[in-house]
Structure 1
């Protein structure tokens, strides 16, 4: 075994051990010492690969994204409608994050963009923008006809919709998160109807108001 491969395996073992400890103890109560013991490495070795629990979570985010990416990209290539593409993206998230739903629930407390683990932070911007890119691909060539001043905002709005669903999901105590799946089904239908209606010329005054509002939210400072 090469030194590089051994190093990668040790890092992976520490990451896997951390996820186990986070599930059992919760993110806040877990310690690096407990993680090291579970991974059967020295505490110093754990700190060598990850300087903190935050660094471990960031590695979890990055690994999850890399694992989901080929699945989502394949689905986007195979699917033609916006509905099937959105279902592919969001359903993949639920499946991949399923084993760590409680961890995501604990991390949801860190929603402040100033916190490095927030999905809105500077530190997670690469992952976030790649995720928004999935929604850009979902919208492209999907037949959605929106005013030119609104369409550029749609991928980010859909990303926010996804984040809202995931937040509801992590706190959903119904069996197998049945309420989330029902919410997902119903709201997706509403979104698709709204998008179809949005292309009606009679609604142009509303289009302008919506564009102004979106510019306030997403425009430059």
Structure 2
């Protein structure tokens, strides 16, 4: 395929993706059809199916594009931040900013939380995206020199990722003015989280370390 044809194909694919996102916003993910998406994109239905064999494939492309577009900014945030708070606050706040135009779609997709569903952030289909995102938290932890017991420390990036997902879930359903309740929740829980991390290494908490580690091993069904 010539460079011109490749470029045209990429542009058509991108146009269908953008049309799909607009259609999902207008009609909801479940009610939207590939025919409506094709019409919005100005292409034949067959062409829409050529680039995306299903609505789920379109959403997966949205996830992948989001991760690709956000990565440089997240790296920049981590490069410039100097404290655990600024790193975590910067990364998560940027996620809210990035996804804001598609908040309604994110709300609709939140119904697919079952790990068996391909669009679930916990599914095997989204594992590569999830692992890359957890990697950002691993970097934030490492560069912040957070000190935790050896059996607990490896789990921290995943726990921070889950913390982020909980905030995003709250955010998509938050109908307060400019999501004021989410901002309050984020601010207060982040302070509590950072305080917990500071206190975790104190000697009087050592009896809790084994209990916490055993629980995490059981939840993740592994030894690290």
Alignment TM-score, normalising by the size of structure 1: 0.98
Matched with 2:147 is 145
How many residues align? The count is 221
Runs of 4+ in structure 1 off by over 3 angstroms are none
Q: In structure 2, how many angstroms separate the alpha carbons of the residues matched to 1:130 and 1:143?
A: 20
Q: In structure 1, how many angstroms separate the alpha carbons of the residues matched to 2:54 and 2:61?
A: 11
Tell me whether 1:87 sits opposite 2:89 in the alignment. yes
Q: 1:173 aligns with which of 175, 181, 189?
A: 175
Q: 2:69 aligns with which of 54, 67, 73?
A: 67
Deviation per residue, 1:91-148 (Å, 9 max, x gap): 1110110000110110111100000000000000000000000000000031321111
Alignment map for 1:26-37 (pairs within 5 Å) = 26-37=28-39
Alignment TM-score, normalising by the size of structure 2: 0.97
Contact 1:81 1:143 in 2 (8 A): no
Answer with 115-124 or 78-87: which moved more.
Answer: 78-87
Q: Secondary structure at the match of 2:143?
A: coil
- Aligned Cα root-mean-square deviation (Å): 1.0
Segments of 5+ residues of structure 1 without an aligned counterpart are none
Alignment map for 1:19-58 (pairs within 5 Å) = 19-58=21-60
Q: In structure 2, how many angstroms separate the alpha carbons of the residues matched to 1:12 and 1:53?
A: 14
Segments of 5+ residues of structure 2 without an aligned counterpart are none
Answer with 143-152 or 106-115: which moved more.
Answer: 143-152
